[in-house]
Amino acid sequence: MKNKKNENTESLILEAAKSIFQTKGMNGARMQEIANKASINKAMLHYYYRSKQLLFEAVFKNAFSLLAPQLNTILNDDSSIEEKVRNFCSNYISFIIKHPYLPNFIIQELNRNPNFILKMKDNIGFPNTEKFKKQVVLEIEKGIIKPIKGEQLFINIMALNVFPFVAKPLIQTLIDVEDEEFEQIVEERKTEVADFIINSIKK
């Protein structure tokens, strides 16, 4: 076997890189800062990941592979729209509270380099909205929910869940609350958002 430090160092680097990239972005992150965080020499970053770009891509893929399964719960689950919405809002907000920088990181870096997501699309497990859209059509036909395009409903669900995390500094200042109260408001949204959506679409 190899040096046992090997695996240790590699994941140590990834963890440090995750933390720096997710808070400062590709452009704001410094290789030296990542090395410091991992308590190793800067040359090691290149030894294990060759370049800043490749290290960044490793972090990004790692982040996206964490997010994708969350989205798939609402897209591929077999329960009713109402159940899915209630489940998703609660679980997804819990998930983001645990990974607060994640959605913003992904959104920001995809804006910086939009065709970067194409590399992800090939992976199995990449979220697909087809099943969800069909289900929306079906429940409308059955008279369970009011007419709405699947795409619009999906965007609304995402927006209501994710936006408070992405725009936290702006929103927090606009509604003039401190951290503690903001966290409480976000916590409330686990059910608040679900109710808001169901109220709107349920017949």
Partner DNA sequence: ACATTTGTTAACCAATTGGTTGAACTAATT
Partner DNA sequence: AATTAGTTCAACCAATTGGTTAACAAATGT
Beta bridge partners of 52: none
What is the C-alpha to C-alpha distance for residues 202 and 195, in angstroms, rounded to an integer?
Answer: 10
Name 199's Cβ contacts closer than 8 Å, sequence gap at least 6.
none
127 binds, among a second copy, DNA, none (CB under 5 to 8 A by kind): a second copy
112 binds, among a second copy, DNA, none (CB under 5 to 8 A by kind): a second copy
Q: With CB under 7 A as the contact rule, which of the stretches 27-35, 89-97, 105-113, 119-127 interacts with DNA?
A: 27-35
166 binds DNA (CB under 7 A): no
Write down the residue that tokens 């959104």 correspond to: 107
111 binds, among DNA, a second copy, none (CB under 5 to 8 A by kind): a second copy
Question: Rg for the chain (alpha carbons), in Å?
Answer: 20
**Beta-carbon-side half-sphere exposure of residue 45 (alpha carbons within 13 Å):** 26
Residue 96 structure tokens = 């983001």
Beta strands in the chain (DSSP E): none
193 binds, among DNA, a second copy, none (CB under 5 to 8 A by kind): a second copy
6 binds DNA (CB under 7 A): yes
- In the DSSP assignment, the letter for residue 30 is -
30 binds DNA (CB under 7 A): yes
31 binds DNA (CB under 7 A): yes
99 binds, among a second copy, DNA, none (CB under 5 to 8 A by kind): none
Residues that bind a second copy (CB under 8 A): 24-25, 27-28, 71, 104, 106-108, 110-112, 114, 117-118, 121, 127-129, 146, 148-149, 151-152, 154-156, 158-160, 162-164, 166-171, 173-177, 185, 188-189, 192-193, 196-197, 199-201
Q: What is the 3-state secondary structure (H, E, C) of 123-164?
A: CCCCCCCHHHHHHHHHHHHCCCECCCCHHHHHHHHHHHHHHH
- Using CB under 7 A, list all residues that contact DNA: 1-6, 8-9, 29-32, 40-44, 46-47, 50-53
